[in-house]
Amino acid sequence: MADGPLLVYGPRSLEYDFGPRHPLSPRRFGPGIELLRAVGAEPGLAPEPAPDAELEWLHAAGYIDAVRRFSAAPWSEPEAGIGPGDDPPFAGMHEAAASVAGGSIRAIEAILRGDAEHAYHPGGGLHHAMRARASGFCIYNDVALAIARARRDGLRVLYVDLDVHHGDGVQALHYSDPGVLTISFHETGRSLFPGTGFPAEMGEGIAAGTSVNVPFEPMTGPEPWLVAIEALVPPLAAAFGPDLVVSQHGADGHVWDPLASLSLSTTAMGRAARLVDRVAHRFAGGRWLATGGGGYSPSRVVPRAWALTWLAGAHRDVPDRLPGKWLRRWEDDAARWDGGPMPDGFEDGPGFPGTSSIGLPAGEQARRTVELVRTVLVPALLGVAGSRGWWRFDAAASPAAIGAAPAAEAPPAGRQTPTLVAPLAPAALDGLILAPRVIPPADPVVAAEILRAALTDGAAAAAAVSGEWIVGVALAAPTPVQGVDRLVALGVAPEWRGRGLATAMLRALVDEETSRGRALAALHTAAERDPMDPLPRAVRRGVAEALARSAGMAIAPAPARISAVDPDSRLAVARSVGAPNDLQARIEAWLAGR
Ligand SMILES: [Zn+2]
């Protein structure tokens, strides 16, 4: 087998076929697989139907029965989303759809066994299928089922959806599971199917904060799209701590795609795939299943997007030009089905016609959306760590500055009553170990590096120390608002919770700040939680309010733009004597992005 991701493709891939007039055409496999072969990929796993017992992990038994009836008798009355329109019945549709699911499930199993580090299933990515309903060309949700397979082994899964349409089915099927973080980048539901995917859809109950949605206006273009992915995926992954990454790389965001209008380039899609690859290596031990998805320009766009995704997983450079033999073989198809000539290269290059968003409001809107999503869903410490240079996710891990616990090891509980250390100076870290799950990110080695960098940068902190272990941290960082610091982390290791340590640290920090004439502001959002064992959403808010109150902070609703996304968000402020009257207003203006 060739080096590079395990390529999932076989004869059954061609059977998922809604007919000659349907946009999702198996015609894409001809030029698509041939171009993959030209860059060195060879199919290594042929999809076969997943048994009902596996489909039933997420799909209703009655729905599977209905799909089987259509499969045998396609002329049946419309039912469960199957009928004239997006999801027309066809003979053999159960076996065809179950094979797409089987391909993604078997690919995950190959990764779990260690037979493959990465796998790529271009025929997969049917992300709209719901529990008991077909939707948006999708019958069974192969990506959600692949995630479910990993969850059965207890693994935490990061899902990144880059299709131009919102990944609504995957989100819905894992909406209440705190062990699955879904992040979808898509054209806004105000103008495009399926009409969902707004930032307020953030997961429910204990899973609040594990659905992330980044909607874009039409004609956003490649640059703001890629900036959003680069700004959000690494810190969200770092905070969540996945064991495995699953991603969906629909090619329908491309400027030549007939069904949507995000105006992307293949260059941006390839770069996004390379970012997902780096995130998988940095945070998930390299375990990564990539799938295809939408893409309705079957000759001119889909094959290039597939090749770029596979090359990203193969860690290989992109060839300068498309192979001449491939171009000659498919140029007639491009003219006939895609309405235009073939391009020269895999990548579209800068200034590709139709992709410039310079001067359009969509780019500025994207920037504001990213800022809002970051405020509500990225832990404050990781947002600030990025902007102040305390941490770069792509940098090689530096030798642990203050040591750190191996992830599996926890400090021995109850040995020594913790001591409150306030203020915490950088030198005090020497010889201490930061316990897991005190502050983000999930990896305590990286958390320790960030804490060291923060203190060196002048951040104010209080800590709870037991023996050689740091078991609690409260940390404040400067803000652009004059005289105001922000509480960016407040956490206690699991074994030491419920003993009043957080209250004591927060009080000490408030005293320290106000005695220096500074105010301390704290914004509680869905991002501030223990990702390994999160409390229900309303309980988290109650805990945050009680802590702020006991530290003498005044509590108010978060600014309207933030509350609209996260109704449980709260703003708490401790003012110093003589603070200006408009302090609260200035803090709110800053948090709301002005
Ligand atoms: Zn890789």
Question: What mean pLDDT is reported for the chain?
Answer: 94
Mean pLDDT of 189-200: 97
Q: Give one DSSP letter per residue of 475-493, joined into a string.
A: EEEE-SSTTEEEEEEEEE-
**DSSP code of residue 153:** T
Band of pLDDT at residue 399, cut at 50, 70 and 90:
very low
Q: Give one DSSP letter per residue of 19-65, joined into a string.
A: -TTSSS-GGGHHHHHHHHHHTT--EEE---PPPHHHHTTTS-HHHHH
CA of 275 to the centre of ligand 1 (A): 10
Sign (positive or negative) of CA dihedral 187, 101, 209, 490: negative
CA of 256 to the centre of ligand 1 (A): 28
* Cα–Cα distance measured from residue 585 to residue 521, given in angstroms and rounded to the nearest whole number: 12
Sign (positive or negative) of CA dihedral 295, 301, 303, 305: negative
CA of 7 to the centre of ligand 1 (A): 14
CB 256, CB 301: distance < 8 Å: yes
Give pLDDT, residue 579. Answer: 87
Give pLDDT, residue 346. Answer: 98
Residues with catalytic roles? 128
Question: How does pLDDT run across 277-291, given as a tens digit for each residue?
Answer: 999 999 999 999 999
CA of 531 to the centre of ligand 1 (A): 25
Give pLDDT, residue 413. Answer: 62
CB 527, CB 490: distance < 8 Å: no
pTM of this prediction? Answer: 0.96
Question: How does pLDDT run across 526-564, given as a tens digit for each residue?
Answer: 999 999 999 999 999 999 999 999 999 999 999 999 999
Band of pLDDT at residue 410, cut at 50, 70 and 90:
low
User: By percentage, how much of the chain surpasses pLDDT 70?
Assistant: 96
- Tokens of residue 587, six digits: 């803090």
**DSSP code of residue 494:** G
Poorest-confidence range of 38-42, 80-84, 329-333, 408-412?
408-412
Can you give 272-304 as a three-state secondary structure string? HHHHHHHHHHHHCCCCEEEECCCCCCCCCCHHH
User: By percentage, how much of the chain surpasses pLDDT 90?
Assistant: 90
Give pLDDT, residue 594. Answer: 63
Taking the CB of residue 318, how many other CB atoms lie within 10 A of it? 17
Residues with Cβ within 8 Å of 218's Cβ and at least 6 positions away in sequence, in order, are 187, 188, 191, 192, 261, 262, 263, 362
The alpha carbon torsion through 428, 430, 433, 437 (nearest 10 deg) reads: 50
CB 407, CB 444: distance < 8 Å: yes
Band of pLDDT at residue 412, cut at 50, 70 and 90:
low
Taking the CB of residue 10, how many other CB atoms lie within 10 A of it? 17
Band of pLDDT at residue 593, cut at 50, 70 and 90:
confident
pLDDT of 192 strictly over 90: yes
Residues with Cβ within 8 Å of 26's Cβ and at least 6 positions away in sequence, in order, are 13, 14, 15, 16, 17
Band of pLDDT at residue 499, cut at 50, 70 and 90:
very high
CA of 532 to the centre of ligand 1 (A): 25
Rg (CA), the chain: 25
* Cα–Cα distance measured from residue 483 to residue 554, given in angstroms and rounded to the nearest whole number: 17
Question: How does pLDDT run across 435-470, given as a tens digit for each residue?
Answer: 999 999 999 999 999 999 999 999 999 999 999 999
The alpha carbon torsion through 381, 229, 187, 564 (nearest 10 deg) reads: 0
Give pLDDT, residue 357. Answer: 76
Nearest by Cα to 423 from 520, 550, 553, 510: 510
Helix segments in 125-166, DSSP class H: 142-152
The alpha carbon torsion through 360, 252, 342, 327 (nearest 10 deg) reads: 150
Give pLDDT, residue 67. Answer: 97
Give pLDDT, residue 1. Answer: 40
Question: How does pLDDT run across 6-50, given as a tens digit for each residue?
Answer: 999 999 999 999 998 999 989 999 999 999 999 999 999 999 999
Which chain residues have CB less than 5 Å from ligand 1, an ion? 277
Give pLDDT, residue 414. Answer: 59
CA of 119 to the centre of ligand 1 (A): 10
CA of 315 to the centre of ligand 1 (A): 6
pLDDT of 427 strictly over 80: yes
CA of 494 to the centre of ligand 1 (A): 33
557: β partners: 570
CA distances from 353 to 40, 218, 222, 512, 560 (A): 30, 16, 12, 56, 39
CA of 301 to the centre of ligand 1 (A): 23
